[in-house]
Every structure is written in structure tokens, then in C-alpha cells.
Amino acid sequence: MGRAGYDEVVLLTGFPSFHARRICEGLLDGTRSLVHAVVAGKLAQEAGEALDALTLEQRSRVNLIDGDAASMDLGLSGAEWRALGAEVDRIHHCAQVSYLGVERKSAEQVNVGGAREIIELARACKDLKALVHHSTAQVSGDRTGTVLEEDLDRGQSFRNVVEETKARAEKLMRAAMPRVPVVVLRPSVVVGDSQTGEVDRFDGVYLLILLIVTSPPDFALPLPGRGDAPLNIVPIDHVARAALALGRDPRAVGRTFHVVDPAALTVRKVFELVAAAGGRRAPRGFIPANLTKALLRTPGLERFAKSPRALLDTLGTPVSYASTNADELLAGSDVRCPPFESYVERLVDYVKLRLRERRARSEEQVHDPLG
């Protein structure tokens, strides 16, 4: 049974990543949750800074544990392992590698090895209500058409090691479902906060935003491909709200959930909305994928992200994600994915702000006060 005085005791991995921080903030908001966050030693300072952003009362309910989600027994001592097993009610496993430039060894260690280790801890918990495994809809790989929440191994090929290792992690979770109360969450393409625009790094679809906002105002960029494929985008705050709601719903155990925008826009429409928000002209025409790759290697963009091919794969794959399970359990709640049109300006404004800050730092570095 969880510790007295708290509504729930949660083990959180992946802290202080952007995703895990949002889950932690949600856990602390509105409920008396105690959060044990496993933090690698090299990230201790960053984790401390993340806690400083919380209120004093919230900080008092977060316990940072020195460990490693990808190591044997999470890098914990035997005493720590037993203590967690005795009081943890719920687990949010957010530790993952999603950077597409990652080496295979690291992706396998964190995504697959981390899943294996967290399952072992879950089995040791005496009163676990849910192990919430944070995955991605892109475990569908190169599949086209409609992907169901129950689908996993459907003969798809994987376009990168992240997709492959996340799919392998899900296989481990499914195999554990008869013994462990697993809940699998698959968000689609995740972008920044719908209220503030905040995001941790400019990658994936942010290459598109960067390309647009750094182009000349009077230049109408062509579309990267025909632009008629759907591009399912969800903001991080919606992902966190859905994860918390589903993770606390006993009906979710043993099921998989697509966390998606029910009214996904086409690539062309997303492109048009980003251009309008950035004060640029609407796109005209389109260029083939090979020329688009060259365009995405425009000098300067590589400083922010290094995955133009992955972006093109996403933009050119005509796939949609069914969300029957998520729709069923979230019906009647206030968890709703906001339409992209309602927050695109905030995303673009945040990118512009970061670009201005970067330019200011560059100017300070080259300025010689004695010159």
C-alpha cells in the first residue's frame, strides 16, 4: 500500500527530460501525489533546476533518487528497490531515447533495456495499479493507411533505430501484461506547449518551422512533396493530461492508446498555418523529396536539428491513427486535443524568440569591447 498521507506514490523515470517534467508537474497538480524520480548522476544539477521551478510545497513531494533507468535494477541499491516495491502505486516510464541521430547501442540500452528493467521493478511492487509505458505512434514504421491501437507487429519496416527499439520495448510490455498492469501510450508527433510554445529542442516538424521563419518574407517556399498526407500533431500539454487521466483509469490496464489529434491536418494545411503565423507567404507548388532534402540542409539549420530525412519520411507517409480506446476512456472528461490552428502562433513565436536569443549570444561572442 502507498505511503499514508498521499493519494498515490508514483515512480517516474526519464526525469528531468522535457516529457518527464511535464508528467511530474501534472502529477503534483491537484492531487496529493508523492513522486520518486530516478535521475542519472550526470543530470543531477539539471534535475535540481527543474525542481526550483516548482512551488515549495510541490518540491516537498518530489524525491530525487540517484539511479539509471537503463541499468540493472535501475541502478538502485537493494534497500531502495525494496522500499519502492513496498509503496509505489503507479509508474510512469518516460525514460527513452528519441533523438534520431542516436547510436544503436544507446537506443537499445535505454529503450529496450530500460523497458525490461522497469517491468522487473513493476513485478516487485506489492500494490501496483498501473505501469504507464510512454511509447510513440511511430512504432508503426513505414505502414500506410489506418493503424489501430491494437496493432504492433504488422510486417512494417522501421525507418530508424528509434522506431525499431520503441517497438521492441512495446513487445516486452505486451508480454508482461498477464503479470503486470501495463498501460501503453502512443502519442503522434509531439510539439511544444499549446499555451506557451515551450519545447526542449528543435527537431522533427520544427525543421519545417525553422525553414519557414528564416526564409525571406516575400519568398513563397514550395511544399516538401505534394502535401496531401495527414500530419498528426499533438502538443506536449495534451499528451501529459491524457497520460495522467489514462494512467489513473483502471479500465486502461492491458490496453494501448493513441494520443492523437482527432482532426489531423494535411501537410499542406500545416505548412500554410505556420507560414501565416510567421508572416510569410503561403506555399506555392512542390518539389520532389530529393530536392527537399537538399533544401533542409540550408546552412544554419544543422545547428538546431540533424534529421531532415526523418522529417521527410513523416511528411510523406499517408498514415492515420485510430483512437477508439482513448476516445472511449476520455469521453466525458476535459481532456481534449486543441486544434493546431489555436496554438500554431505560440509555437512559431517561441521559435522566433529562441532564434533572437541565439543571435544575441553570437553577437556578444564576436564583440570585442577593446576594439
CB hemisphere CA count around 192 (13 angstroms): 21
> What are the CA-CA distances from residue 211 to residues 99, 100, 359 (Å)?
20, 19, 16
Residues 6+ apart with CB under 8 A from 219: 280, 281
Q: Is the pLDDT of residue 288 over 50?
A: yes
pLDDT at 367: 52
Of the listed ranges 80-89, 176-185, 287-296, the least confidently predicted one is: 287-296
What percent of the residues of the chain are helix, what percent strand, and what percent coil, each to the nearest 5? Answer: 45, 15, 40
Percent of the chain with pLDDT over 70: 91
Banded pLDDT at 365 (limits 50, 70, 90): low
pLDDT at 314: 78
DSSP, collapsed to helix, strand or coil, labels residue 183 as strand
Of the listed ranges 24-28, 120-124, 146-150, 220-224, the least confidently predicted one is: 220-224
Contact, 124 vs 81, CB < 8 A?
A: yes
pTM of the model as a whole: 0.91
Q: Give the E-state strand segments of 157-279 in sequence order.
A: 182-187, 189-191, 223-224, 230-231, 233-235, 255-259, 265-266
Q: Which residues pair with 78 in a beta bridge?
A: none
Asked whether the CA dihedral 241, 247, 249, 255 is positive or negative, the reply is: positive
Contact, 84 vs 34, CB < 8 A?
A: no
360 or 89: whose pLDDT is higher?
Answer: 89
Domains, the chain, with CATH or none:
8-190+234-259 (3.40.50.720)
